[in-house]
Amino acid sequence: MESVHDYQLQQNLLITFLFLAIFTGWRTFYARIKRSLSQVTVVIIGGGPVGLLSAFLTLKSGRATNIVVYEERNRKSVLNAQYQLTFDCQSVEFLKAAGIDFDNIEGCRHDNCFTTKVGVFLEYILDYLTVSGVNVSIRFHKKVTNKYFSL
């Protein structure tokens, strides 16, 4: 009598476990499908180091379908920016892990920091974004003003 009871208990546990596994699996699967079908456009204002790095990291996240960067200066003046940009060692490590190949950027290293010209760095990122295959649009000579927002 007791063994029949144990058997029923085991069966109930098994059914509950299977039900939970199917439910969790289905929810995960559904969330993935939903995410892959959703269209996400990320708009970034400013094509300086922070703006273009944001575009780069957004691209790397694989979550955006479209990335649009508005930059008020023209491409030439962005790429001709001669002032310096220094990444401390933590930023270098973080960006290396994200896919930035510092060995392919003209600049100098010192104490694990990396210094380059802003224009050089931006050109590297722009090249990367252009060949990525994701829909990335860099709109130079477009200043974002209040008229862009319908509040």
Ligand X SMILES: Cc1cc2nc3c(=O)[nH]c(=O)nc-3n(C[C@H](O)[C@H](O)[C@H](O)COP(=O)(O)OP(=O)(O)OC[C@H]3O[C@@H](n4cnc5c(N)ncnc54)[C@H](O)[C@@H]3O)c2cc1C
Nearer residue to ligand X within complex by CB, 39 or 150: 150
Binding string, residues 103-122; x marks residues near ligand X by CB under 6 A: ---------------x----
| Interface pick for ligand X out of 13, 50, 89, 98 (rule CB under 6 A) | 50
Instruction: Decide: 87 and 107 in contact? Cβ < 8 Å.
Output: no
Judged by CB under 6 A, the stretch of 9-17, 25-33, 41-49, 99-107 that binds ligand X is: 41-49
Q: Which of 129, 146, 147 is nearest to 138 (CA)?
A: 129
Helix axes 49-61, 118-130, angle to 10 degrees: 30
Task: Answer yes or no: are the C-beta atoms of 121 and 49 closer than 8 Å.
Answer: yes
Among 47, 117, 123, 129, binds ligand X (CB under 6 A): 47
Is 123 a binder of ligand X (CB under 6 A)?
A: no
**CB-based closest residue to ligand X:** 48
Half-sphere exposure of 69 (CA within 13 A, CB side): 27
If one asks whether residue 79 binds ligand X (CB under 6 A), the answer comes out as no
Quick one: 17 or 148, whose CB is closer to ligand X?
148
CA dihedral 123, 127, 132, 135 (to 10 degrees): 70
Binding positions for ligand X, rule: CB under 6 A: 45-51, 70-73, 83-86, 118, 143-144
